[in-house]
């Protein structure tokens, strides 16, 4: 959840402000993801890992590539 005016309707919900992402943090993450090769996108890997029910990430962040 981002820390913007869009979450004003969630006032009644229990939200920890420390867990909200600032728009600047999202901007930095997206800009970083755009600077790496298309086949090694850390943002995409983290989204895939968050959306899976497994305890261990399906796609490891550190990968071994042949020389």
Note down pLDDT in tens along the chain; length 67 residues. 455 555 555 554 556 666 667 778 778 877 877 777 666 655 666 665 565 555 555 555 666 777 7
Domain containing 61 equals 1-67
8 Å CB contact between 1 and 7: yes
**pLDDT for position 30:** 79
**pLDDT for position 54:** 55
**pLDDT for position 51:** 59
Query: Residue 14 — left, alpha, or beta (φ > 0 → left; ψ -120 to 50 → alpha)?
Result: beta
Q: Specify the number of domains making up the chain.
A: 1
Q: Is the pTM of this model over 0.75?
A: no
């Amino acid at each position: 959840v981002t820390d913007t005016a869009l979450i004003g309707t969630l006032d009644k919900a229990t939200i920890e402000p420390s867990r909200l992402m600032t728009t600047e943090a999202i901007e930095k993450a997206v800009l970083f993801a755009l600077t790496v090769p298309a086949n090694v996108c850390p943002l995409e890997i983290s989204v895939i890992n968050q959306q899976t029910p497994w305890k261990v990430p399906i796609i490891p962040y550190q990968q071994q590539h042949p020389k």
